[in-house]
Amino acid sequence: MTNTKEFDKTTTIGFLGAGNVGGSLAVAMSNAGYPVIAAGSRTFASAQAFADRIPGCTACENIQDVADRVDFVFISTSDDAIRTVCDQVSWRQGQGVAHCSGAASVDILQSAADQGAILGAFHPLQAFNSVENGVKAIPGVTFGIEGDDGMQSYLRGMASDIEGIPISLRPQDKVLYHISGVLMGNLLAVLGSVAASMWEKFDHTRDEGVRALAPMMPAVAANLASAGVPQAVAGPYPRGDIGTIRKHLEAISSSAPEYLPLYIELALVGLPFAVEKGALAPARSQEIKELLESYRVTIE
């Protein structure tokens, strides 16, 4: 193998990192006909559990064994471990190696490039809490891809084959791209957790809050997908219901002051969308902004 143009659906694949992201991708790739034949992890037990999900996949005792068995390696460890793992492997000329980080560029794989390997990045813009749910969630997911033309062609084809949507990213775009995903994935889950915890403030349980609020999330996502921004923005802010907003602020201040900063900042950054939608007059927006900021002062 001398260049990425030779990477195709027959190229043997190995994974270093046996977590939910790597496991979900590996199963999806295998289901689409890609030969995922080797897996390695910090523990052999994890590698074995990973391999057991994929026909023809072998768990390896160490990461070098994985690299020696295959022509293309995906590093699906935590972001902080990618460079360390890459540096520990002896790579071959023309071998492919791609990491699955959304925030890091391919430069963290420089030690592989120095040995003649060809670099890429393949990041699914999705939250993975298990392999089973992850595989189901991949169709329709956007994949952020880096690499030279041949690498991009291979990875874009792979993304499409597992029913994802490939996009090309420049190195300087990666962090902002990843922030958008963290806001929608990790921090949206945090926001949902905060909203559910509010139920404990009025004599119900957080679990009841989850059951009541979780069905709202797919509806919000559907509204965003169908109507877009800003038309999907709804609630008391676009309506200009300043009386309701004042009640919110009073109740949070007295019953859940720990959530007051979050509520205020989210409301403030949302006001321009309400104005852009045409539902909230600029003068009314300014009035609401001043109300919110008056409560912000009490925090500071």
Q: Rounded distance, CA 134 to CA 95, Å?
A: 27
Contact 144, 138 (CB under 8 A): no
What tens digit of pLDDT does each residue of 237-265 get? 999 999 999 999 999 999 999 999 999 99
pTM as predicted: 0.87
Q: Give the pLDDT of residue 3.
A: 43
User: Residue 169: pLDDT above 70?
Assistant: yes
Q: What is the mean pLDDT of residues 204-216?
A: 97
**Angle at the Cα of 64 from the Cα atoms of 62 and 66, rounded to 5 degrees:** 80
Contact 152, 170 (CB under 8 A): no
Write the single-letter amino acid at 117. Answer: A
Q: Rounded distance, CA 231 to CA 47, Å?
A: 46
What tens digit of pLDDT does each residue of 17-52 get? 999 999 999 999 999 999 999 999 999 999 999 999
> CB neighbours of 198 closer than 8 A, spacing ≥ 6?
209, 256, 259
Read off the pLDDT band of 300 (50, 70, 90): low
Q: Rounded distance, CA 295 to CA 70, Å?
A: 59
What tens digit of pLDDT does each residue of 133-151 get? 999 999 999 999 999 999 9
Percent of the chain exceeding pLDDT 90 equals 95
127 or 270: whose pLDDT is higher?
Answer: 270
Position of tokens 């019953």?
A: 255
Q: Rounded distance, CA 189 to CA 138, Å?
A: 18
What tens digit of pLDDT does each residue of 51-91 get? 999 999 999 999 999 999 999 999 999 999 999 999 999 99
